[in-house]
Chain A
Amino acid sequence: MFGPKVKLSKELFDRVRKYADIAGYSSVDEFVSHALEKELEFIGEADSEEEIRKKLQGLGYLS
Protein backbone atom coordinates (compact mmCIF):
# COMPACT_ATOMS: atom_id res chain seq x y z
CA MET A 1 0.00 0.00 0.00
CA PHE A 2 2.87 2.35 0.78
CA GLY A 3 5.15 1.01 -1.92
CA PRO A 4 6.83 3.02 -4.66
CA LYS A 5 4.73 5.66 -6.35
CA VAL A 6 4.64 6.62 -10.01
CA LYS A 7 3.71 10.09 -11.23
CA LEU A 8 1.16 10.39 -14.06
CA SER A 9 -0.30 13.47 -15.65
CA LYS A 10 -3.90 14.16 -14.62
CA GLU A 11 -5.00 13.70 -18.21
CA LEU A 12 -3.43 10.24 -18.43
CA PHE A 13 -4.67 9.24 -14.99
CA ASP A 14 -8.24 10.14 -15.95
CA ARG A 15 -7.99 8.05 -19.10
CA VAL A 16 -6.47 5.15 -17.17
CA ARG A 17 -9.24 5.31 -14.59
CA LYS A 18 -11.91 5.39 -17.32
CA TYR A 19 -10.49 2.41 -19.22
CA ALA A 20 -9.73 0.41 -16.07
CA ASP A 21 -13.40 0.74 -15.27
CA ILE A 22 -14.58 -0.18 -18.77
CA ALA A 23 -12.25 -3.19 -18.93
CA GLY A 24 -13.52 -4.45 -15.58
CA TYR A 25 -10.37 -4.04 -13.50
CA SER A 26 -11.05 -3.76 -9.79
CA SER A 27 -8.77 -0.75 -9.43
CA VAL A 28 -6.47 1.58 -11.33
CA ASP A 29 -3.54 -0.12 -9.58
CA GLU A 30 -4.55 -3.50 -10.97
CA PHE A 31 -4.94 -2.13 -14.50
CA VAL A 32 -1.60 -0.30 -14.41
CA SER A 33 0.22 -3.36 -13.01
CA HIS A 34 -1.27 -5.59 -15.70
CA ALA A 35 -0.47 -3.12 -18.49
CA LEU A 36 3.12 -2.75 -17.29
CA GLU A 37 3.61 -6.50 -17.02
CA LYS A 38 2.38 -6.94 -20.59
CA GLU A 39 4.65 -4.13 -21.78
CA LEU A 40 7.71 -5.60 -20.05
CA GLU A 41 6.95 -8.97 -21.59
CA PHE A 42 6.71 -7.33 -25.02
CA ILE A 43 9.93 -5.39 -24.61
CA GLY A 44 11.87 -8.39 -23.36
CA GLU A 45 10.54 -10.65 -26.07
CA ALA A 46 11.01 -8.34 -29.00
CA ASP A 47 14.29 -6.67 -28.10
CA SER A 48 12.57 -3.74 -29.74
CA GLU A 49 15.42 -1.25 -29.71
CA GLU A 50 17.65 -3.57 -31.67
CA GLU A 51 14.97 -4.35 -34.25
CA ILE A 52 14.26 -0.68 -34.86
CA ARG A 53 17.97 0.05 -35.04
CA LYS A 54 18.51 -2.68 -37.67
CA LYS A 55 15.57 -1.39 -39.69
CA LEU A 56 16.88 2.18 -39.66
CA GLN A 57 20.40 1.08 -40.52
CA GLY A 58 19.01 -0.86 -43.47
CA LEU A 59 17.24 2.26 -44.65
CA GLY A 60 20.40 4.33 -44.32
CA TYR A 61 19.18 6.57 -41.49
CA LEU A 62 21.67 5.33 -38.88
CA SER A 63 25.39 4.67 -39.13
Chain B
Amino acid sequence: MVVTLISGILKRRRFAGALIVVSGLPRSGTSMMMKMLEAGGLEIVTDGERTADEDNPKGYYELERIKELDKGGDKSWLGVYRGKVVKVISFLLRELPDDFSYKVIFMRREMTEVLASQKKMEDRRGEDSQTEDEKMADLYKNHLWRVNYQLKNSKNFDFIEVPYGEVLEQPGPWARRVAEFIGGDLDVEKMAAVADPKLYRNRKRA
Protein backbone atom coordinates (compact mmCIF):
# COMPACT_ATOMS: atom_id res chain seq x y z
CA MET B 1 0.00 0.00 0.00
CA VAL B 2 2.72 2.48 1.00
CA VAL B 3 4.90 1.31 -1.88
CA THR B 4 2.02 1.83 -4.33
CA LEU B 5 1.39 5.28 -2.89
CA ILE B 6 5.03 6.32 -3.16
CA SER B 7 5.43 4.92 -6.66
CA GLY B 8 2.27 6.81 -7.66
CA ILE B 9 3.70 10.07 -6.32
CA LEU B 10 7.05 9.50 -8.04
CA LYS B 11 5.32 8.65 -11.30
CA ARG B 12 3.16 11.77 -11.16
CA ARG B 13 6.28 13.84 -10.51
CA ARG B 14 8.18 12.20 -13.38
CA PHE B 15 5.36 12.84 -15.83
CA ALA B 16 4.46 16.35 -14.74
CA GLY B 17 5.13 18.51 -17.79
CA ALA B 18 5.36 15.50 -20.09
CA LEU B 19 4.71 15.82 -23.78
CA ILE B 20 1.37 14.23 -24.63
CA VAL B 21 1.88 12.02 -27.65
CA VAL B 22 -0.81 10.45 -29.83
CA SER B 23 0.68 7.51 -31.66
CA GLY B 24 -0.10 4.35 -33.61
CA LEU B 25 0.17 3.04 -37.12
CA PRO B 26 -1.04 5.48 -39.78
CA ARG B 27 -4.80 5.02 -40.26
CA SER B 28 -5.42 3.70 -36.77
CA GLY B 29 -7.43 6.65 -35.49
CA THR B 30 -4.65 9.01 -34.40
CA SER B 31 -6.26 12.08 -36.01
CA MET B 32 -9.58 11.31 -34.34
CA MET B 33 -7.82 11.12 -30.97
CA MET B 34 -6.06 14.44 -31.65
CA LYS B 35 -9.43 16.02 -32.30
CA MET B 36 -10.86 14.45 -29.13
CA LEU B 37 -8.06 15.91 -27.03
CA GLU B 38 -8.49 19.30 -28.65
CA ALA B 39 -12.20 19.19 -27.86
CA GLY B 40 -11.32 18.19 -24.32
CA GLY B 41 -9.38 21.42 -23.87
CA LEU B 42 -5.76 20.48 -24.56
CA GLU B 43 -3.48 22.49 -26.80
CA ILE B 44 -2.74 20.64 -30.01
CA VAL B 45 0.51 21.18 -31.89
CA THR B 46 0.00 21.26 -35.66
CA ASP B 47 1.34 23.40 -38.47
CA GLY B 48 -1.66 22.78 -40.73
CA GLU B 49 0.65 21.91 -43.64
CA ARG B 50 -1.24 18.75 -44.48
CA THR B 51 -4.81 19.83 -44.92
CA ALA B 52 -8.03 17.81 -44.68
CA ASP B 53 -8.82 15.55 -47.62
CA GLU B 54 -10.97 12.55 -48.44
CA ASP B 55 -8.78 10.27 -46.33
CA ASN B 56 -8.90 12.53 -43.29
CA PRO B 57 -11.98 14.76 -43.72
CA LYS B 58 -11.37 16.41 -40.35
CA GLY B 59 -7.68 17.08 -40.87
CA TYR B 60 -4.38 15.38 -40.06
CA TYR B 61 -3.21 17.34 -37.01
CA GLU B 62 0.42 16.85 -37.98
CA LEU B 63 3.65 18.74 -37.51
CA GLU B 64 5.98 18.37 -40.49
CA ARG B 65 9.07 18.74 -38.31
CA ILE B 66 8.13 15.58 -36.42
CA LYS B 67 8.42 13.61 -39.66
CA GLU B 68 12.13 14.37 -39.70
CA LEU B 69 12.92 13.04 -36.24
CA ASP B 70 14.73 10.05 -37.74
CA LYS B 71 17.12 12.32 -39.63
CA GLY B 72 19.03 13.04 -36.42
CA GLY B 73 20.16 16.48 -35.30
CA ASP B 74 19.05 18.58 -32.39
CA LYS B 75 15.69 17.60 -30.96
CA SER B 76 15.62 19.97 -28.02
CA TRP B 77 12.94 22.02 -29.83
CA LEU B 78 10.45 19.37 -28.69
CA GLY B 79 10.75 20.76 -25.16
CA VAL B 80 8.65 23.77 -26.15
CA TYR B 81 5.67 21.44 -26.50
CA ARG B 82 5.69 20.02 -22.96
CA GLY B 83 2.11 19.77 -21.73
CA LYS B 84 0.81 19.99 -25.29
CA VAL B 85 -0.29 17.27 -27.70
CA VAL B 86 1.79 16.10 -30.66
CA LYS B 87 1.14 13.30 -33.12
CA VAL B 88 4.05 10.93 -33.64
CA ILE B 89 3.53 7.80 -35.72
CA SER B 90 4.66 4.56 -34.09
CA PHE B 91 7.70 4.28 -36.38
CA LEU B 92 9.14 7.49 -34.93
CA LEU B 93 8.53 6.88 -31.22
CA ARG B 94 12.03 5.48 -30.75
CA GLU B 95 13.42 8.74 -32.14
CA LEU B 96 12.01 10.79 -29.27
CA PRO B 97 14.87 12.07 -27.11
CA ASP B 98 15.37 10.73 -23.58
CA ASP B 99 15.58 14.27 -22.21
CA PHE B 100 11.80 14.52 -21.84
CA SER B 101 8.99 12.36 -20.51
CA TYR B 102 6.02 11.30 -22.61
CA LYS B 103 2.44 10.29 -21.95
CA VAL B 104 1.50 8.24 -24.99
CA ILE B 105 -2.00 7.50 -26.17
CA PHE B 106 -1.42 4.57 -28.47
CA MET B 107 -4.19 3.83 -30.97
CA ARG B 108 -4.87 0.22 -31.90
CA ARG B 109 -6.95 -0.90 -34.85
CA GLU B 110 -7.61 -4.23 -36.58
CA MET B 111 -4.68 -4.85 -38.94
CA THR B 112 -6.98 -5.68 -41.89
CA GLU B 113 -8.72 -2.32 -41.41
CA VAL B 114 -5.42 -0.44 -41.19
CA LEU B 115 -4.15 -2.06 -44.39
CA ALA B 116 -7.44 -1.48 -46.24
CA SER B 117 -7.42 2.18 -45.25
CA GLN B 118 -3.76 2.59 -46.20
CA LYS B 119 -4.45 0.95 -49.56
CA LYS B 120 -7.21 3.46 -50.34
CA MET B 121 -4.92 6.28 -49.35
CA GLU B 122 -2.13 4.95 -51.58
CA ASP B 123 -4.54 4.68 -54.50
CA ARG B 124 -5.62 8.29 -54.07
CA ARG B 125 -2.01 9.41 -53.87
CA GLY B 126 -1.10 7.38 -56.95
CA GLU B 127 1.32 5.24 -54.95
CA ASP B 128 1.94 1.64 -55.88
CA SER B 129 2.83 -0.49 -52.87
CA GLN B 130 5.48 -3.10 -53.64
CA THR B 131 4.66 -5.15 -50.55
CA GLU B 132 1.72 -7.53 -50.37
CA ASP B 133 -0.78 -7.14 -47.55
CA GLU B 134 0.09 -10.42 -45.86
CA LYS B 135 3.76 -9.52 -45.68
CA MET B 136 2.99 -5.95 -44.62
CA ALA B 137 0.81 -7.29 -41.81
CA ASP B 138 3.73 -9.42 -40.57
CA LEU B 139 6.10 -6.47 -40.75
CA TYR B 140 3.69 -4.22 -38.86
CA LYS B 141 3.02 -6.87 -36.20
CA ASN B 142 6.75 -7.20 -35.58
CA HIS B 143 7.09 -3.45 -35.52
CA LEU B 144 4.23 -3.10 -33.03
CA TRP B 145 5.78 -5.71 -30.77
CA ARG B 146 8.98 -3.66 -30.61
CA VAL B 147 7.06 -0.44 -30.00
CA ASN B 148 5.13 -2.09 -27.20
CA TYR B 149 8.38 -3.30 -25.64
CA GLN B 150 9.78 0.23 -25.76
CA LEU B 151 6.65 1.70 -24.18
CA LYS B 152 6.64 -0.88 -21.40
CA ASN B 153 10.33 -0.70 -20.62
CA SER B 154 11.34 2.94 -21.04
CA LYS B 155 11.20 4.93 -17.83
CA ASN B 156 10.29 8.16 -19.55
CA PHE B 157 7.23 6.66 -21.25
CA ASP B 158 3.79 6.17 -19.75
CA PHE B 159 1.12 4.84 -22.08
CA ILE B 160 -2.44 3.75 -22.61
CA GLU B 161 -3.63 1.61 -25.51
CA VAL B 162 -6.88 2.73 -27.08
CA PRO B 163 -8.80 0.51 -29.51
CA TYR B 164 -10.21 2.65 -32.32
CA GLY B 165 -13.28 0.47 -32.96
CA GLU B 166 -14.26 0.48 -29.29
CA VAL B 167 -13.93 4.25 -29.04
CA LEU B 168 -16.51 4.60 -31.80
CA GLU B 169 -18.82 2.12 -30.08
CA GLN B 170 -18.39 3.47 -26.55
CA PRO B 171 -16.98 7.00 -26.83
CA GLY B 172 -18.01 8.05 -23.34
CA PRO B 173 -16.14 5.43 -21.30
CA TRP B 174 -13.07 5.69 -23.52
CA ALA B 175 -13.02 9.49 -23.36
CA ARG B 176 -13.12 9.20 -19.57
CA ARG B 177 -10.28 6.66 -19.50
CA VAL B 178 -8.09 8.81 -21.71
CA ALA B 179 -8.86 11.91 -19.65
CA GLU B 180 -7.97 10.06 -16.43
CA PHE B 181 -4.74 8.84 -17.97
CA ILE B 182 -3.70 12.37 -18.93
CA GLY B 183 -4.93 13.92 -15.70
CA GLY B 184 -6.14 17.47 -15.38
CA ASP B 185 -9.55 18.79 -16.07
CA LEU B 186 -10.66 17.70 -19.54
CA ASP B 187 -14.15 18.04 -20.94
CA VAL B 188 -15.04 14.37 -21.33
CA GLU B 189 -18.43 15.02 -22.92
CA LYS B 190 -16.94 17.14 -25.68
CA MET B 191 -14.24 14.53 -26.21
CA ALA B 192 -16.81 11.76 -26.58
CA ALA B 193 -18.87 13.83 -29.02
CA VAL B 194 -15.94 13.84 -31.47
CA ALA B 195 -15.92 10.07 -32.05
CA ASP B 196 -17.72 9.81 -35.35
CA PRO B 197 -18.83 6.33 -36.52
CA LYS B 198 -19.18 7.72 -40.06
CA LEU B 199 -15.38 7.79 -40.16
CA TYR B 200 -15.26 4.05 -39.55
CA ARG B 201 -15.20 3.29 -43.25
CA ASN B 202 -12.88 0.32 -43.50
CA ARG B 203 -14.53 -1.77 -40.85
CA LYS B 204 -13.67 -5.46 -40.74
CA ARG B 205 -16.64 -7.56 -41.81
CA ALA B 206 -17.59 -10.32 -39.36
Contact = CB atoms under 8 A, between A and B. Distances in A.
A61 B122 CA distance: 12
Given A52-B139, A53-B91, A61 B26 contact: yes
Interface residues of A, number: 17
Given A51-B131, A51-B139, A61 B68 contact: no
B125 A62 contact: no
B70 A62 contact: yes
Contacts of A18: none
A34 interface: no
Interface majority SS (helix, strand, loop, mixed), chain B: helix
B118 interface: yes
9 contacts: A48-B143, A51-B135, A51-B136, A52-B140, A56-B89, A59-B26, A59-B118, A62-B67, A63-B71
A59 B122 contact: yes
A58 B71 contact: no
A35 B121 CA distance: 35
B50 to A, nearest CB: 7
Interface in A44-59: 46, 48, 51-56, 58-59
A39 B131 CA distance: 19
A42 B122 CA distance: 26
Contacts, number: 54
Interface in B121-145: 121-122, 125, 127, 129-131, 135-136, 138-140, 142-143
B125 A52 contact: no
A62 B143 contact: no
Given A46-B135, A48-B142, A61 B89 contact: yes
Contacts of B50: 60
Contacts of A54: 130-131
Nearest to A54: B130
Contacts of B67: 61-63
B64 A63 contact: yes
A48 B130 contact: no
Contacts of B64: 63
B92 to A, nearest CB: 8
B131 A55 contact: yes
A54 B131 CA distance: 10
Nearest to A62: B67
A52 B135 CA distance: 11
